Amino acid sequence: MANPAILTVDDDPAVSRSVARDIRRRYGDRYRVVRADSGQAALDALRELKLRGEQVAVMLADYRMPHMNGIQFLESAMDIYPRARRVLLTAYADTEAAIDAINIVDLDHYLLKPWNPPEEKLYPVVDAMLDAWTAAPDETINDIRVIGHRWSAPSYAVRDFLARNLVPYRWLLADDPEGGRLLAAAGLTVDDVPLVLSSDGTALVKPGEAELAAHVGLTTTPAEDFYDLVVVGAGPAGLGAAVYGASEGLRTVLLEQRATGGQAGQSSRIENYLGFPDGVSGAQLTERARRQALRFGAEILTTREVVGLESGGTTRLLRFGDGNAIAAHTVVLATGVSYRMLEAPGLAELTGRGVFYGSAATEAPACAGEEVYVVGGANSAGQAAMHFSRYARRVHILIRAGDLRRSMSQYLIDQIEGTPNITVHPYTSVAGGAGDDHLERLTLCDPRSGEVREVRTSWLFIFIGAEPRTDWLDKSILRDDRGFVLTGSDLLADGRRPPGWSLPRDPYHLESSMPGVFAAGDVRAASVKRVASAVGEGAMAVSLIHRYMETQ
């Protein structure tokens, strides 16, 4: 294994050579010094290191660089090496920008230029950064390779699962020379994809999510049988509950069926979340929250499908789809919502083969130069359109209403109107889709006149409506007619407590019809569908849990 790397990036050749020379003089016997002359070159170097499974300890970036400044570089670099320590090199005049970067990219330190003598101004800073990184180094990442077909729904499912769980991988087409050689070496044919290979030669053929999760090192089995708090769903509300529960001493486990982040985790850019004036990607926000929950001692389990909830005195029992169960004093339901299926002929058969629900960020680079269609008029659709506009020749937003103003935030509307390759099509719905091995054309309809037209495209991303993930609750928890969990005063019909309520008090604000079971975020009836409110409800639920447990 190669020594961990210290990365320096500066567009000024003299400064770049100087900082690399000083770093190499002090640390060259223990660390590799990687030097780049631009933010993009540095990102390319980081990706190459990641693919090789190597570690990066510290990144030092100059603030004033053309095309991509130091803050922008460090923000992007966090997605590749989230645990590497980040230092911004800045002139005295840019100190304010460096201070702002503390919020934007979790900057660890800023260093004023010039740093002579390095023994007094540079080395103490780097020493502190290396000590902090050594205490919690980045994980050694295996070079995971996925071999599959371009228009294979199972291949897409594997890639999407890995991407949403922030597991790096290389994507190889089965009909490319390298992909074909790997299939042949494994004794397989193109009919056996997707194939997942790790650096030690272990091969998984058409793996399910649970098998894939265990293979890449995600935790799937609880360490205990009983907890103070079980959180179901790892979106913003669930992550908020896990962070606050674990930080306040509750034995906490977070259960997620697919990947942390929920719908928010798929967002390419969240720009109205407090504390991030330049926006933050859903993946970055999710990863920070996940690390925070783990640091406080919460367990996070993936690929755990919860299929039932039962009450037994002061114990709440959650049953898994594999027949096992887990028990706790309290439960937070934070299962969020899923996008509603678009009922139009031909779409179901093409799901994962040109038709996608949600942003499907793994597909964005493949959309280069293509015509992309986005269905939906809420913020998630707008954020996806802005993301895809960086790759596609043109992005078409299809909405049934006359404009975006009823359902989308104004900042997104302004961005869309200012993006020349995005076109909004009002009064337009999808009447059907067709294609052989993948989506090739859509039939669009004007719901007012019934007029139809056909367009050619291989890319349809759907963001319509929201359905709560609560069918598994059956009759154990009261829900409204749309399936959202009723809580607090909404349970008091005509001033009467819900049927079967056993306590001599009314339900707390976020408490469901089963005492000790709380709901937070989008799954709760009448909730505000925003990331900040979901995080707040997750935190509030923990406060109410303390009140509940004090009386038991």
Instruction: Judge whether residue 543 has pLDDT over 90.
Output: yes
pLDDT in tens, 286-323: 888 999 999 999 999 999 999 999 998 889 999 999 99
Annotation: CATH topology of 5-135: Rossmann fold (3.40.50)
Give, rounded to a whole angstrom, the gap between the first and last alpha carbons of the chain. 53
Q: How far is CA 49 from CA 52, 80, 207, 212, 215, in A?
A: 5, 10, 27, 23, 21
Mean pLDDT to the nearest integer, 183-188: 83
Superfamily (CATH) of domain 145-215? Glutaredoxin (3.40.30.10)
The whole-number pLDDT of residue 141 equals 45
Q: Which CATH class is domain 348-462?
A: alpha beta
* 199-203 mean pLDDT: 75
User: Taking the domains of the chain in order of start, what are their residue ranges?
Assistant: 5-135, 145-215, 226-338+468-550, 348-462
Q: What's CA 222's distance to the chain center, in Å?
A: 22
- 182's tokens: 């790997």
The answer to whether 279 and 239 are in contact (CB under 8 A) is no
Structural contact between residues 145 and 182, judged by C-beta atoms closer than 8 angstroms? yes
Please tell me whether the peptide bond between 114 and the residue prior to it is cis, using omega within 30 degrees of 0.
Answer: yes
Helix (H, G, I), strand (E, B) or coil at 549: helix
| Cα 300 from Cα 222, distance rounded (Å) | 8
* Burial of 216 (C-beta count, 10 Å sphere; 0-12/13-18/19+): buried
Over 70: is that where the pLDDT of 97 sits? no
pLDDT digits (tens, 9 = 90+) for 44-95: 888 888 756 688 999 999 888 888 888 888 888 887 788 899 888 887 656 6
Q: What pLDDT sits at residue 187?
A: 83
Say which amino acid occupies 250: L
pLDDT tens, position by position, 337-382: 888 899 999 999 999 999 999 877 778 888 999 999 999 999 999 9
Which tens digit of pLDDT belongs to each residue from 399-450?
Answer: 999 999 988 999 999 999 999 999 999 999 999 999 999 999 999 999 898 8
Residue 412 has a pLDDT of 94
Same fold, 226-338+468-550 and 348-462: yes
CATH, domain 226-338+468-550, list 3.30.1180.10, 3.40.50.1820, 3.50.50.60, 3.40.1190.20: 3.50.50.60
Cβ-count burial 425-437 (b if 16+ within 10 Å, e if not): eebbbbbebebee
Inform me whether the pLDDT recorded for 268 exceeds 70: yes
Mean pLDDT within 245-267: 90
What is the rounded CA–CA span in Å between residue 250 and residue 209?
A: 29
Inter-axis angle of helices 13-27 and 123-135, nearest 10:
60
Give percent above pLDDT 90 in the chain: 60
pTM for this structure? 0.75
Q: Which amino acid is at 424?
A: V
Residue 485, pLDDT above cutoff 50: yes
Q: What is the DSSP letter of 488?
A: G
